[in-house]
Amino acid sequence: MNHASTPTSLSVPQRALVAVLVLVLFALSAWAVYSSFTSRVQISVWDFHTPWLGLRAMLRDGVNPYGDEVTLAIQMQRYGRPAHPDEDQLAFAYPLHMMGLIGPLALLPLPVAYALWFCLLGASLLTFFIVAPWAVGWRPPTWLLALTAFFTLGLYPNVWAVILGQVSIVVATFVALAWYGLRTGRWRLAGICLALATIKPQVTFLIVPTMLIWAIYQRRWRVISTFSVALGALIILPLPWLPNWPLEWLAAVSRYSGYTAWEPPLVLLTGSTWLSGLVAVLLLVWTVYSWWRASDRQGAAFDWALAMIVVVSALIAPRTSQANQLVLLLPLFFVFTRVSRTGVIAAVEIGLLVGLWLIDVTLLPPTNSPQHMVWQHRLISPILPVGLALALLYFSPPLIHQSSAGPREI
């Protein structure tokens, strides 16, 4: 990839000062959240509670987090009883190397862990907002950047991701940082962030291999070596507690698919697994062909190809929902680089921001209804990935023999 201009580098003392200020601000924020909210209100942040309790049982008591004992403990804390066969079993089904991220929080009382986790999600959202436009080469004017900040924080999937305590927010930030690292030649940053992004495979099962294949093709061996060392360290980390954890995790994943009903957006639209698979394969073939034949293979064409991979991942990711869609803002911001009229971009952001919430208010059952999440997934999950797929197809990079025409813009 071509190196892009980056913010002015800071000196070592300046970096140290910034790091100290960030840590102080994070600590003060966590204390404010704890003292005003998590210490006083009995809350259950669904997508954080399960890994917190599973890792806590393993680290403190030496219990297998994938076992029935931990599953029952999670059910008792969340349901107040064992789960019925037709309910979400709430079992721990995460890859265990996520303890590199959540492990320290599992040793803390739940209200404290909640407070720190909410602050980490907030910091991740802020980092994503700062890094993502740089990663894809989008430089909006100040007024549009301010609107984009409001858009990023208020977008329906992102709000729900925070409410649920979704680790996908952190993973999306790792993907943005990896993309930024590839763009700016920060190979070690890219490798480390790609390794960390594997803690949520549903989001990154196509993205990480694509970036690694590109690194091999470009002989960026620092990306490969750093990724290998970082991922190896993450995999080794849980072995003293559970030596066969990868096998236990695969078994948990196979069970997980039996009690969750979140079908991929393409399956929802086509009603067929094989037809959705065919569409995904065609999109991937077109992505590879367009990138290979593009006139700017190492620049905008590669950004376009990565954007398509992110979108295809969201279209076919198994057992995922709209709460995992922060990462889709990367391809959205790339699309914005192809749009010359800032008014059009502003209209798209406002339309998505308002439109998705209107769907919730007008078409979905009440939030306290058991059917709310079902229809939330069916009606809202496909909108962003399908819209982005169509936009990216329109902005497919010009082939070599078409290079004189230049890229399409609107």
Q: Note the pLDDT of residue 100.
A: 92
Domain residue limits at 323: 136-405
What residues pair up with 399 in beta bridges, in sequence order? Answer: 294
Task: Give the residue ranges of the chain where pLDDT is below 70.
Answer: 1-10, 261, 399-410
Q: Mutual orientation of helices 207-217 and 221-236 as an angle, nearest 10°? A: 140
How many domains are contained in the chain? 1
> Would 131 be classed as within a structural domain?
no
Query: Residue holding tokens 């008014």?
Result: 343
> Would 230 be classed as within a structural domain?
yes
Task: Show the tokens assigned to 253.
Answer: 């994943």
Residues in the chain: 410
Phi, psi dihedral angles at 63 (to 5 degrees):
-90, 140
Q: Note the pLDDT of residue 9.
A: 65
- DSSP-based three-state secondary structure for 404: helix
Q: How far apart are alpha carbons 75 and 78 in whole angstroms?
A: 5
Tens-place pLDDT, residues 157-166: 999 999 999 9
Return the half-sphere exposure (C-beta side, CA atoms, 13 A cut-off) of residue 186.
17
> Would 44 be classed as within a structural domain?
no
Number of H helices, E strands in the chain: 20, 0
Q: How far apart are alpha carbons 191 and 220 in whole angstroms?
A: 10
Closest among 406, 389, 136, 401 to 286, alpha carbons compared? 389
> Would 119 be classed as within a structural domain?
no
Q: How far apart are alpha carbons 357 and 155 in whole angstroms?
A: 8
Query: Residue holding tokens 């393409």?
Result: 266
> Would 53 be classed as within a structural domain?
no
- DSSP-based three-state secondary structure for 399: strand
Task: Show the tokens assigned to 340.
Answer: 């010359």
> Would 219 be classed as within a structural domain?
yes
What residues pair up with 294 in beta bridges, in sequence order? Answer: 399
Tens-place pLDDT, residues 22-40: 888 888 998 999 999 888 8
> Would 79 be classed as within a structural domain?
no
**How many CB atoms neighbour CB 224 within 10 A?**
16
Phi, psi dihedral angles at 275 (to 5 degrees):
-70, -40
Contacts made by residues 216-221, CB under 8 angstroms, sequence distance 24+: 218/298, 220/182, 220/187
Query: Residue holding tokens 């070599």?
Result: 400
Q: Note the pLDDT of residue 407.
A: 53
> Would 183 be classed as within a structural domain?
yes
End-to-end Cα separation, the chain, in angstroms:
24
Q: What is the DSSP string of 153-207?
A: HH-HHHHHHHHHT-THHHHHHHHHHHHHHHHHT-HHHHHHHHHHHTTSHHHHTTH
Please classify residue 254 by burial: count the beta carbons closer than 10 Å to its beta carbon, then call 0-12 exposed, 13-18 middle and 19+ buried.
exposed
